[in-house]
């Protein structure tokens, strides 16, 4: 890896750590989906600070569609670091009367669709990608959804549509953490082998470590070279990856309302990592 690439990777690792910290600070007020936000921080750093192109106003030219509303914490934490949200706003997450909803609706800044009705995002993203292509735009459309959503038939209709129309401007990102609300996804209804299934629908699918900046960047770079097929990143992630004390304290977390001591321990660990990064 060249010095330039190494510096780029270090910058994204720093941003991912900041996103993890933002996630904890937001969720420690009233609970929330901290485990997912922490786990998705590496993807968020690469997506918002490297992959998606900006337009002339400074907002994103490419478009991001969040399907699973509980992962909105990732977007909030990333856009706080990007400067579009203030942390004092985001600390009202999940409060009565707040505009910072756990599952945002269309029109909430940074969110393309009303999220949370699982399985709906991929079809809407495919429609957006098809529409942008019909309009002659070269915008790329990114859609994040969970492995639990692969149990929804609408996801596979979207894959069939996208494959048929050869939507190579579409990139599906799957948060493949083998966890849903009640148990491991493999216990409820297994969705594997994920890559083989998407390949059968005419997509190009790559399995990556969703907590490895280098692998994520390589996949995004590959996605831009694929012609005639939608691209699918099957990102293997683990809840609370990047904050070891919370992985052990809250190993099967979905919605988390943790004790103050757990939040404080998590913040102390990530602050130590940030300090170490600053000294390196």
pLDDT per residue as tens digits for the range 197-238: 999 999 999 999 999 999 999 999 999 999 999 999 999 999
Whether the pLDDT of residue 4 is over 80: the answer is no
Ranked by mean pLDDT, the top range of 3-7, 102-106, 249-253 is: 102-106
Residues 82 and 49: beta-carbon distance below 8 Å: yes
Whether the pLDDT of residue 2 is over 80: the answer is no
Percent of the chain with pLDDT over 90: 85
- The pLDDT value recorded for residue 199 is 98
- The pLDDT value recorded for residue 233 is 98
Return d(Cα 161, Cα 191) in angstroms, integer: 20
Q: How confident is the model at residue 152 (pLDDT cuts 50, 70, 90)?
A: very high
Whether the pLDDT of residue 189 is over 50: the answer is yes
- The pLDDT value recorded for residue 120 is 94
Question: Which of 17-31, 138-152, 251-265 has the weakest average pLDDT?
Answer: 251-265
The residues with which 234 forms a beta bridge, in sequence order, are 174, 207
- The pLDDT value recorded for residue 255 is 82
Whether the pLDDT of residue 45 is over 90: the answer is yes
234-256 as b/e, with b when 16 or more CB fall inside 10 Å? bbbbbbbbbbeebbebbeebeeb
Question: Which has more confidence, 252 or 74?
Answer: 74
pLDDT per residue as tens digits for the range 81-128: 999 999 999 999 989 999 999 899 998 999 999 988 889 999 999 999
Sorted by where each starts, the structural domains of the chain and their CATH numbers stand as 3-279 (3.40.50.970)
Q: How confident is the model at residue 240 (pLDDT cuts 50, 70, 90)?
A: very high
Write out the two tokens for 137: 């735009």
Whether the pLDDT of residue 144 is over 60: the answer is yes
Q: What is the mean pLDDT of the chain?
A: 94
Burial of residue 20 (CB within 10 Å: 0-12, 13-18, 19+) is buried
Length of the chain: 280
Q: What's the pTM value of the predicted model, to 2 decimals?
A: 0.95
If residue 64 lies in a helix (H) or strand (E), which one and from where to where?
strand 63-66
Whether the pLDDT of residue 22 is over 60: the answer is yes
Residues 158 and 126: beta-carbon distance below 8 Å: yes
Question: Which has more confidence, 248 or 141?
Answer: 141
Alpha helices by DSSP H, listed for the chain, are 3-27, 34-39, 41-46, 72-82, 87-90, 121-134, 153-164, 185-189, 194-200, 213-223, 244-249, 260-279
């Amino acid at each position: 890896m060249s010095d330039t690439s190494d510096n780029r990777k270090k910058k994204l690792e720093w941003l991912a750590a900041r996103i993890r910290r933002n996630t904890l600070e937001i969720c420690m007020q009233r609970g929330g989906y901290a485990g997912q936000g922490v786990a998705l921080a590496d993807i968020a750093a690469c997506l918002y600070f490297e992959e998606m192109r900006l337009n002339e106003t400074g907002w994103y030219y490419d478009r991001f569609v969040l399907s699973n509303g509980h992962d909105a914490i990732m977007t909030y934490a990333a856009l706080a670091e990007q400067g579009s949200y203030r942390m004092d706003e985001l600390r009202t997450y999940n409060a009565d009367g707040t505009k910072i909803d756990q599952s945002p609706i269309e029109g909430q800044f940074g969110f393309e669709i009303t999220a949370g009705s699982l399985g709906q995002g991929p079809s809407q993203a495919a429609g957006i990608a098809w529409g942008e292509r019909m309009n002659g735009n070269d915008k790329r459309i990114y859609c994040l959804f969970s492995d639990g959503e692969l149990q929804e038939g609408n996801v596979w209709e979207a894959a069939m549509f996208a494959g048929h129309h050869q939507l190579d401007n579409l990139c599906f990102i799957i948060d493949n953490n083998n966890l849903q609300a009640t148990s491991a996804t493999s216990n409820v209804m297994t969705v594997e082998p994920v890559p083989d299934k998407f390949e059968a629908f005419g997509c190009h699918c790559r399995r990556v470590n969703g907590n490895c900046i280098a692998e994520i960047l390589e996949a995004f770079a590959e996605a831009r070279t694929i012609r005639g097929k939608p691209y699918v990143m099957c990102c293997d992630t683990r809840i609370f990856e990047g904050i070891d004390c919370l992985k052990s304290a809250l190993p099967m977390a979905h919605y988390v309302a943790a004790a103050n001591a757990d939040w404080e321990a998590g913040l102390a660990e990530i602050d130590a990592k940030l300090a170490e990064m600053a000294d390196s």
